């Protein structure tokens, strides 16, 4: 499989693994991820003690667990970032088989933890959410199918990936988990677009998505309640979105001060889905813009490095991974400021949650592996060649 380039210098034969990894990795992306980890722990110190007190636990119980999850995620990130594109593909396919099987078995062995949707497995010491790990693994599988379709005599990878996407989205919608379903569909759509899908097909798929949304609104009280609450001009003062909006407004530009915020005492999901509201209240708009800039840097740098990639699989998979990470962050922030209906989606690396942070570490680890600098000719060099 062709390997990628981004201004790469020739690799010395027999060069040790770690020096080679450090020289070829996108260090700016790695630095941004470390910054997000740090911000997540900082906000956990502010947001989780009230929850621990309500549950009769030590004040920093959730912070300590998040530190353990973050360490596991960082180890997963480092290990994944050292893989070759072929190894990323193999690992992604195996992970998809495991995650998809776990997703299908949720109705029989899963639990909802009192939140209505059966999305987790209770492990006693923690929980496991298959959909978090399904996202990056399915991106890898779909990219492999789409790249295989471009080979002479290759399989109908685009059609197979479209069918699999429909099945996965349907299973997630039945939980219901429309947030993860929308991310799976978005990631597949980005890869299909990059693979050269005709605009008529893209418009047709968009029409089907809109029709499905209208149908869900008319037949599901869950969806209708979320949409109606989002469109309503008046927001009940005792809802999560109202608490979040008040916290963001009170924080202003510089925040009310470290430890002085109140939203963490009222919001049950202040340490997870609405962690950005805690950041806005205590640290102000400044910290929110820093978080947004860090996610934008990871996404845009990855896409820029992929522009010169010659290998279709690396190009599709890298675009899919970068876009679902950036989109998930955008949805989380958009919900907190009421630009989007509530989705129940975490902020990668920042929100509390083992499955979320570890899956995000795997996602960025695979992305770093695919965007490492490797010796090859640039794609523009191929376009400049003329037949002899």
| Each residue's pLDDT tens digit, 292-315 | 999 999 999 999 999 888 899 999
**Of 326, 295, 320, 314, nearest to 371 (Cα)?**
314
Q: Are 251 and 245 in contact (CB under 8 A)?
A: no
Residue ranges in the chain modelled with pLDDT below 70: 1-14, 222, 233-238, 375-388
Instruction: Indicate left, alpha or beta for 124 from its phi (over 0: left) and psi (-120 to 50: alpha).
Output: left
Residue in this structure with the two tokens 């034969």, named with its chain if needed: 13
Which ranges in 220-311 belong to alpha helices (H)? 221-231, 240-251, 263-266, 275-306
The answer as to whether 9 is a domain residue is: no
For residue 25, the model assigns a pLDDT of 93
Residue 387 lies in a domain: no
Total domains in the chain come to 1
Domain annotation covers residue 13: no
Residue 142 lies in a domain: yes
Domain-located, residue 299: yes
175 falls within a domain = yes
Q: Tell me how far apart the alpha carbons of residues 235 and 308 are, in angstroms, rounded to a whole number.
A: 48
Residue 283 CA to its chain's centroid (Å) = 24
**Residue 141's closest CA among 101, 94, 104?**
94
- Asked whether residue 53 is domain-assigned, the answer is yes
**Nearest CA-CA partner of 38 in 365, 367, 349:** 349
Give dist(CA 227, CA 297) in Å, integer: 31
* Residue-range definition of the domain harbouring residue 175: 19-379
| pTM of this structure | 0.88
| Tokens found for residue 16 | 């040790």
Return the pLDDT at 388: 45
pLDDT at 213: 79
111 backbone dihedrals φ, ψ, rounded to 5°: -140, 160
pLDDT at position 373, please? 85
Contact 371, 305 (CB under 8 A): yes
Structure-block tokens of residue 349: 């690396």
């Amino acid at each position: 499989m062709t390997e990628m380039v981004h201004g790469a210098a020739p690799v010395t034969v027999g060069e040790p693994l770690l020096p080679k990894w450090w020289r070829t990795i996108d260090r700016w992306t790695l630095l941004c991820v470390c910054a997000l980890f740090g911000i997540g722990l900082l906000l956990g110190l502010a947001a989780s003690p009230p929850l621990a007190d309500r549950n009769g636990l030590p004040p920093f119980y959730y912070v300590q667990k998040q530190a353990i999850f973050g360490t596991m995620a960082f180890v997963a990130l480092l290990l994944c970032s050292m893989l070759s594109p072929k190894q990323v593909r193999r690992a992604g396919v195996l992970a998809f088989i495991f995650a998809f099987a776990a997703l299908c078995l949720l109705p029989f062995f899963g639990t909802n933890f009192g939140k209505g949707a059966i999305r987790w497995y209770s492990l006693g010491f923690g929980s496991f959410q298959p959909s978090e790990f399904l996202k990056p693994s399915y991106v890898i599988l779909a990219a492999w199918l789409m790249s295989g379709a471009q080979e002479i005599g290759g399989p109908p990878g685009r059609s197979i990936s479209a069918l699999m996407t429909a099945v996965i989205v349907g299973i997630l919608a039945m939980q219901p988990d429309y947030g993860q379903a929308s991310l799976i569909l978005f990631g597949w759509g980005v890869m299909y677009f990059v693979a050269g899908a005709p605009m008529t097909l893209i418009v047709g798929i968009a029409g089907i998505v809109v029709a499905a949304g209208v149908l869900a609104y008319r037949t599901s009280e869950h969806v209708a309640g979320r949409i109606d609450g989002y469109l309503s001009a008046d927001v009940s003062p005792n809802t999560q979105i109202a608490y979040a909006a008040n916290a963001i407004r009170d924080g202003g530009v510089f925040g009310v001060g470290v430890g002085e915020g109140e939203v963490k005492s009222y919001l049950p999901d202040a340490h997870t889905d609405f962690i950005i509201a805690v950041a806005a209240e205590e640290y102000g708009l400044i910290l929110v813009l820093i978080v947004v800039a860090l996610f934008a840097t990871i996404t845009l740098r990855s896409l820029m490095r992929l522009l010169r990639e010659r290998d279709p699989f690396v190009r599709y998979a890298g675009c899919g991974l970068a876009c679902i990470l950036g989109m998930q962050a955008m949805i989380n922030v958009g919900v907190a400021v009421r630009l989007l209906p509530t989705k129940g989606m975490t902020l990668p690396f920042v929100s509390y949650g083992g499955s979320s942070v570890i899956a995000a570490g795997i996602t960025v680890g695979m992305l770093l592996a695919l965007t490492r600098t490797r010796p090859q000719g640039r794609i523009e060099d191929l376009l400049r060649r003329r037949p002899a």
